[in-house]
Amino acid sequence: MFFRTGSIRFPPGSRLSGASRSRDLERIELDLARDRHARAAMEAYADSCEAELPWLSEVLRQSRFGRPEKLTNCSSTVLRAFVLAQSRAAIQADYAHAAWEHVRVQLAAVLAGLPRAGAHETLDGTHGGEDHADATRTEPR
């Protein structure tokens, strides 16, 4: 991580206790240009404030650091929420482990930016494929 001159640094394994670390910190400066975790934090902040401050959320998303090259900078958060949802679903009588695992694999692929299997990208950027409902219709003979 990069810090400005005069910043207080708390490296991993620091001997400072949690109370003395945060006692006087009211402001933390993030380096969006060089720190991918800072960009993930900004994305999470934009998501969090969207309902109450939609203008701020929009400004953050439109900044040059607010547009991730992939779907999200917070893939680990998305997967953590999915695992929590799956664990809650697992205690239900109608839980289908295979279905949840299929969704988890597809979610991980989307978050990694992998193309959908059997799909081709159309000119408008959408994906086409053989698994659409209208593609399964049979033609009259």
The pLDDT value recorded for residue 31 is: 87
The pTM assigned to this predicted structure is 0.57
Domain edges within the chain: 18-62, 74-117
Q: Where are the alpha helices (DSSP H) in the chain?
A: 18-22, 36-49, 54-62, 75-89, 97-112
The pLDDT value recorded for residue 70 is: 72
* Tokens standing for residue 82: 């999915």
**130/141 Cα distance (integer angstroms):** 20
Confidence class for position 15, pLDDT limits 50, 70, 90: low
- Mean of the pLDDT values across residues 16-44? 76
Higher pLDDT, 69 or 104: 104
Confidence class for position 101, pLDDT limits 50, 70, 90: very high
